[in-house]
Structures are given as C-alpha cells and as structure tokens.
Structure 1
C-alpha cells in the first residue's frame, strides 16, 4: 500500500483533482509521507497551481468529503502557506501525490 492507503482510495482522491484543471499537482506531507502513519492518520495534502484560491479549495474539499473516506483530509494551498517550518517540512518529506498530466 502506497502511503498506507489503498490504491482505490488514492484513485478516488485523484479523480477529484482531475476535475479541476487549475490543480497542477498535489504534495502529500506529514506522517503518511514520512512512512510512520497509522491506519487512522489524516491525509495532509497541499495543492500547487497558479490560480488556486480559497473558493476552489473549498469545492475540492467538499468533493473529497463526498467520497465518505474513513480519513480526515487536510488540504492547503501551497502558495498561501506562511509558516516557514511547514514549508520546510513539505520540502523535506513531501511526496508527489497527484500530477496533472495535461499541464
């Protein structure tokens, strides 16, 4: 299992990202990226794309919530992150979760 998630779960989440052309890629970070996640660990993802705003983030978040996954999914917009420690953490341990092949 990649990132301690079933392939089906990864595919479902990525299908949501595919609906939104503005999402160029997503980076997984936190315990799932580090490899020390438990089954119940949340899924921390930051979105990368030039024109991603809070309205789009909210739509994506609602679409992922509608999947009824047994995990909490924390989404952020990478270029909105102000916490330098978090930026450093994402740079250090982040793993590519989704890439828009059309970009």
Structure 2
C-alpha cells in the first residue's frame, strides 16, 4: 500500500471482513489510484442480506467508465466471493439523494493523502 494513503477499517457493523476490505482496496489500487474508496448501501449500514451485492463508490475525477468497468471486472475475477460488485464513480452520479447517502452513511475503506 502506498505511503501516501490511509486504509480505513470501519468500526461500524459491516459484513465485510477486514481481509475482504483489504483485498478490495488492493485490487482497486492495482488498476488505478482513486482519491477515495467508499463502501455504501446495505453492507455499509448493516442491513444486508446474505446475497446482497458489495456497493463501492470510487472518488476518481479522472476516472472513465472504462476504468470503472475494468475495476469491477478485476474485483469479480480476483476476489474469491460469490457476491457481486457494484462499482460506481461518485463524480458521475446524477442523483443527489444517492450522493448524500454515500457521504452520510458510507464507510471509507481508503483515502489518498495527496488528493
């Protein structure tokens, strides 16, 4: 992990293990470095079901749709879990309600110190 980064392990009750959280961050960083990685949705709030997907918001101003799709594919190929990943670029979200939900209820998994 780069020295200019902070890895956050949530104190909230999430179903994601520390190991899985680290794997997610490492796999994303191996593709392209974002400003921040945030877990959101039911797995961040503790309302998940056994089959709930893993919702990840990437804060990447220079990220394209292709970058997001590459990360999603990389996560699903490299991480051994039956769960699906839903990866979005925070800056591409049109709905203010979703943005506010991510900001207020999301769990920061990673944040670059240089952004």
Q: Gaps (5+ residues) in structure 2?
A: 1-9
Q: Which residue of 1 aligns with 2:35?
A: 24
TM-score by length of structure 2 reads 0.77
Cα distance per residue 1:10-69 (max 9 Å; x no partner):
122111122144312111111111122233221111100221111111111110010242
Q: Is residue 98 from structure 1 mapped to residue 110 from structure 2 by the alignment?
A: yes
From 90, 93, 98, give the equivalent of 1:81.
93
Count of matched residue positions in the alignment of Structure 1 and Structure 2: 103
Partners of 1:21 and 1:101 in 2: CA distance? 15
For residues 37-48 of structure 1, what are the structure 2 equivalents within 5 Å? Answer: 37-48=48-59
| 2:28–2:75 contact (8 Å) kept in structure 1 | no
Q: Which residue of 1 aligns with 2:84?
A: 72
Q: Is residue 12 from structure 1 mapped to residue 33 from structure 2 by the alignment?
A: no
| 2:36–2:110 contact (8 Å) kept in structure 1 | yes
Q: Which residue of 2 aligns with 1:36?
A: 47
Q: Tell me, what secondary structure is at the counterpart of 1:12?
A: helix
Q: CA RMSD in A?
A: 2.0
